[in-house]
Amino acid sequence: MSASRKLFIKTYGCQMNVYDSERMAETLAAEGYETTESPEEADMVLLNTCHIREKAAEKVFSELGRLRPLKEAKPGLRIGVAGCVAQAEGDEIMRRMPLVDLVVGPQSYFRLPEMARAVEGGARVVDTDFPAEDKFDLLGARPRGRRGPTAFLTVQEGCDKFCAFCVVPYTRGAEVSRPADRILDEARALIAAGVREITLLGQNVNAWHGAAGGLATLIGQLARLEGLDRIRYTTSHPNDMDDALIAAHGHEKRLMPYLHLPVQSGSDRVLKAMNRKHTAEAYLRLVERIRAARPDILLSSDFIVGFPGETEEEFAATMDLVRAVGFGSAYSFRYSPRPGTPAANRPELPADEVEDRLYRLQALIDTQARAAQEAMVGREVGVLFERRGRLPGQWVGKSDHLHAVHVHGPDTLSGTFARVRITASAPHSLAGELIEPA
């Protein structure tokens, strides 16, 4: 293959897909592909898809429809679909969309080089197997080169929880944990490339069991790596928050005071129907223990509104839980059925009723998020600066609590920590002034 070939990847969904897209690009680089920001420039377009959100498959088919004129104008263009929609709908994609050359599931993308060679020869290829091999072993070491100051690192994949609304166990497979030594090797390579903050990723990241002691042990090992200043992890399940991990939030100074801990509902009956295997009271007691270990921690969560059978009283219980916890941020969604999941065939609630509940929940969450931001005004925080802002001389970074913070400062801020005094709160961001480098 020519070294001038261009690859465009469009990434949907979660941080794990961002990580996967990076690894796919690295894998195809061995075949002579360089990444581009423009599909018009590309010799190959990959859509790395997510099946979690509403009408995910339909959105992918719509995107493929938009690519049809480009394919017609450029017959040599190769188009692929990767990720969870590919896993769930691979055969249907190939049937409905002749313009698609390859379909690859999230556990098989290490095979992309051979798939690329096959499509160059005129084949159409589908690989949505759950291979026995560890894809991370077969992906090999990550290439050297400078990176930005933050990076994602997948440590765990798959899910054994089988929530009634969720397709992840069927698209990502059973829970698998990467061995600690391989995670640490990848972390060292990221640090050598300039990374100062690593976010550990997993569908149930706190179910990681790649070494004795679980995720708390891994965080402790990472915290001892020279040059790594910040550690985060997402997404967690309440049932996997063990004593050691809770304690780590108190004594591991490099573990940031931010935790995304999905609860989904405040109603015990709805939680049971969702197969969440925890109660609202258990979640509240868990929050108390986490805050006892780290009083300044900012909590985030996920909520599904309008789950089949949810009553107004049960929705009110969700609102009560939100008021009791006081979240710094949260993600809330209308329930939408996923084919093949246990809840998919249950009668849905009236759309206008669900919309009204979602509006009320999001208004409450927005109020709490604004209060959390406003409480930061006047405080000094550490900020890791990642990119330039929209205004001349403006830089944007993230605080320990994951708030976006913008300041005016010199070009030397790129990729550095600095102490910042917060001066104002704006929608979804904070303004500050530099005090000194951290």
SS (H, E, C) 176-189: EECCHHHHHHHHHH
What angle do the packed helices 280-293 and 312-325 form, to 10 degrees?
10
Q: 380-437 domain in CATH 3.60.150.10?
A: no
Q: Which CATH superfamily is domain 5-127 in?
A: Methylthiotransferase, N-terminal domain (3.40.50.12160)
Per-residue pLDDT band at 172 (split at 50, 70, 90): confident
Q: 136-374 domain in CATH 3.80.30.20?
A: yes
Check residue 296 and report its DSSP letter: T
Give yes or no for a contact between 252 and 231, defined as CB atoms under 8 angstroms apart: yes
Give yes or no for a contact between 432 and 407, defined as CB atoms under 8 angstroms apart: yes
Give yes or no for a contact between 337 and 58, defined as CB atoms under 8 angstroms apart: no
Which residues touch 252 (CB under 8 Å, ≥6 apart)?
219, 220, 223, 231
CA–CA separation, 204 and 208 (whole Å) = 7
Q: Hey, is 20 helix, strand or coil?
A: helix
Specify the range with the lowest mean pLDDT, choosing from 136-150, 158-172, 190-204, 381-395: 136-150
Give yes or no for a contact between 422 and 377, defined as CB atoms under 8 angstroms apart: yes
Nearest CA to 79 out of 114, 44, 104, 118 is that of: 44
Q: Which string of b and e fits 356-369 if b means at least 16 CB within 10 Å? A: ebbeebbebbeebb
Q: CATH 2.40.50.140 region(s) of the chain?
A: 380-437
Q: CATH 3.80.30.20 region(s) of the chain?
A: 136-374
Average pLDDT over residues 19-27: 91
Q: CATH 3.40.50.12160 region(s) of the chain?
A: 5-127
Spell out the alpha helix ranges (H) of 51-178: 56-73, 83-96, 112-120, 135-139, 168-171
From residue 96, give the alpha-carbon distance in Å to each of 40, 65, 75: 23, 10, 18
Give yes or no for a contact between 266 and 322, defined as CB atoms under 8 angstroms apart: yes
Nearest CA to 124 out of 96, 157, 151 is that of: 96
Q: What is the pLDDT of residue 219?
A: 98
Q: Which string of b and e fits 319-330 if b means at least 16 CB within 10 Å? A: bebbeebebbbb
From residue 14, give the alpha-carbon distance in Å to each of 47, 168, 232, 235, 373: 14, 12, 15, 10, 24
Q: What is the pLDDT of residues 320-364, one digit of tens each?
A: 999 999 999 999 999 999 888 999 999 999 999 999 999 999 999
Q: What is the pLDDT of residues 231-243, one digit of tens each?
A: 999 999 999 999 9
Specify the range with the lowest mean pLDDT, choosing from 140-144, 154-158, 308-312, 317-321: 140-144
Entry pTM: 0.88
Q: Which phi and psi angles does 297 have, rounded to 5°?
A: -65, 140
Give yes or no for a contact between 220 and 252, defined as CB atoms under 8 angstroms apart: yes
